[in-house]
Amino acid sequence: MPRIVALDPATYVRHRTHRGERIWAETNCYTDVVIELLHGLGYEPLAAMPFTLTVDFDVDQWTFFKFRHADIETMYGQGIHELAPWLPLHEHVEQNVAAGRPVLVELDSFYLPDTASAAYGLAHIKSTVAVIDIDVAAERMGYFHNQGFHVLQGADFAAIFQTAGLVHPRMLPPYIEFLKPLPRARALAGPALVEASVLALRRELGRLPPVNPFLPFKARFEGDLAWLIGADIERFHAYSFATLRQYGSSYELGATYLRWLGENGVAGTEAPAEAFLSISRDTRALQFQLARAMARKRPVDLGVLDGMAARWEEATTALVRTFGVG
């Protein structure tokens, strides 16, 4: 059976960003799965996470934040490449895993048992997983998804990969990537990893939004409330995911990243970390307030966004003053 790392869901220990008391249990499917994939391969994913500090409000949603491929190459010696599907999906996965290359692929959560009570058997929602072992004959696959490591087998395996003559109508080939070690590259550790992370942070600070993102977001949010208050729960979840959850979870990860730098002797991170964490907490509270307001058909006070705007300004100004812009 092709396998990259021997892991057991019963004993696997999640990364620190997915353990303990977290404001946002999940962020987005791509970032969560890459965190666990890097962690499962023995790397520290926090080093490559300064991207979490520079999300922006992009017209009708906040940035769907993702790891920078260049940082994964520099820090872990791994390149991420797109795979063009021309064989049955399970053959691509099997062949790449056998070559020691984890496969990142979009699958249907309807057949992913780790999404029980959310999508499994309930809704067809694409989500990215990272496959590190597969046994086609035994209909078994070991994969990272969301917050942990899981196993897919039996009928769900057959449905996901359309084996045994199963064919889903209108199913298009998924988007697929794989990790490939770079020639002559090595993973960084210790002070070298911290130094590379600080350099990445300086580059990232050059990507900060030119306008405080909470200003256009508040204006858009105030306009959206007119129809959002009367919308159904599915519409609420979609809106919340694209806006509140995106920047709220991104800033919580950003705070964890800054504290990791502090733990490794980098000064000037604690105050910005606390500011971003405070924004994240208030965003979670705002999400609950919005849900209650929709249930009661009552308006929502968005004054809390003014405080978030002020803290964003303080935190980003402090970071640029301390680290500069690379």
281 pLDDT higher than 70: yes
pLDDT in tens, 32-44: 999 999 999 999 9
55 pLDDT higher than 60: yes
Q: Are 139 and 153 in contact (CB under 8 A)?
A: yes
The band of 301, judged by pLDDT with boundaries at 50, 70 and 90, is: confident
Nearest Cα residue to 272 out of 205, 318, 209: 318
pLDDT in tens, 63-91: 999 999 999 999 999 999 999 988 889 99
Of 111-125, 128-142, 296-310, the poorest mean pLDDT is in 111-125
| C-alpha to C-alpha distance for 34 and 113, rounded to whole angstroms | 19
Q: How many CB atoms lie under 10 A from the CB of residue 319?
A: 27
* Mean pLDDT calculated for residue range 166-195: 85
Token duo for residue 46: 């926090």
* Whole-number pLDDT of residue 311: 98
Q: What is the mean pLDDT of the chain?
A: 92
* Whole-number pLDDT of residue 167: 57
* Whole-number pLDDT of residue 306: 97
pLDDT in tens, 228-272: 888 888 888 899 999 999 999 999 999 999 999 999 999 999 999
The band of 1, judged by pLDDT with boundaries at 50, 70 and 90, is: low
Number of H helices, E strands in the chain: 10, 6
Sorted by where each begins, the domain ranges of the chain are 16-42+78-181, 190-323
Asked whether the whole model's pTM tops 0.75, one would answer yes
